[in-house]
Amino acid sequence: MKKNESIYITKPGSVEIHPADHPVPKEGEALLELVYGGICGSDLNTYRGNYAYAIYPNIPGHEFSARILEIPENSAGLKPGMLVTANPYFNCGSCYSCRRGFLNCCVDNQTMGCHREGAFSRYITLPVERLYNGNGLDARRLALVEPFCISYHGVRRARIQPGDKVLVVGGGTIGINAMLAAKHFGAEVYVADVVPEKLSFASKMGADGTILNSGPDDFLKAAADATGGDLFDAAIEAVGLPSTFQNCIDAVCYEGRVCVIGIGNQTLDFHYTMIQKKELNIFGSRNALKEDFMDVIALFSKGTFDPLDIVTNEYRFEDAPKALEDFDRHSGSMLKVLLDFTC
């Protein structure tokens, strides 16, 4: 067994790797060896100092695959040597949301790498009930399950149906995954972004069309042109800015649906009567549920598309400081970044 080390974002713009004690599993917990981890938008925004839920110093990371080293007897049939991923959203179990089964939006939600210590250590422990069997997926693809679940849950919230015309505002990882999820549900999907390179990538990944978000007037004209003047049945907000939420309000049809996945810390001043006038259905989407993880693992296993196509960069564990620095500087061209913990 290697020595244990952890990646820390100590403050905005600063990443350090520190030695750590080997974790000892408590009752009901498994000992895991990290294999791959994905750097997500919340990790990047924590590094930048503009993430709403960031704490410092903290170990980032909640997208990962791991190998089980030790595990107690369990009903899921998980055994040492298996590859797993995990649900990283810790819930209290007693609030009104939890009592109704909405564990993803627990009022005291504690997401790994955000509100509590994350996964980016060589060795971690987690409760057995949070672990999901990879069912034959390799470690790199398995590390991509959680970010796809975020998008998949939002698309389900938006009630996407076959034949819907859907606009995804934001061409980052969550936006591209939302486009793929919406297409899985039978929709015709456009992606809007301010960065032409991201739109090119969206087209390569299967978007039915793209919109360069160069300004409110041009954006609305492009939305109308794409839909024959009808506007979109649904819009998925995958950025987390007031302006992109406004884009969604503007781009959907009367009785349309807007689902907000993006996380931001800014306020929005807008003509809210448009919600009433259009009779809009507006949904928030937070985290994901066990059934989302199960669905996405099964979806990846089918091979309809390759989730690895979204990976643009890969770094060794020890190069995590450079990975976040590069991601910060080149976020227009970098999409999903993986860390290899086996090095």
pLDDT score at 54:
87
Say which residues have a Cβ less than 8 Å from residue 35's Cβ, sequence separation at least 6. 64, 65, 66, 67, 83, 139, 143, 341, 342
Using CA atoms, how far apart are residues 323 and 186, in angstroms rounded to an integer? Answer: 36
265-309 tens-digit pLDDT: 888 898 999 999 999 999 999 999 999 999 999 999 999 899 999
Say whether pLDDT at 1 is over 90.
Answer: no
Average pLDDT score over residue span 98-107: 96
Grade residue 50 by pLDDT with cuts at 50, 70 and 90.
Answer: confident
| Predicted pLDDT of residue 333 | 87
pLDDT value for 19: 97
pLDDT at 119: 98
pLDDT per position as a tens digit, 194-206: 999 999 999 999 9
Residue range 236-276, pLDDT digits in tens: 999 999 999 999 999 999 999 999 999 888 888 989 999 99
Give the mean model confidence (pLDDT) for residues 214-241. 97
Domains, the chain, with CATH or none: 5-143+305-340 (3.90.180.10), 150-284 (3.40.50.720)
Query: Nearest to residue 109, comparing CAs of 52, 170, 38, 156?
Result: 52
List, for residues 159-173, the tens digit of each pLDDT value: 999 999 999 999 999
Per-residue pLDDT tens for 21-34? 999 999 999 999 99
Percent of the chain with pLDDT over 70: 100
Name residue 325's amino acid: E
pLDDT of residue 51: 83
The 10 Å Cβ neighbour count of residue 276 is: 8
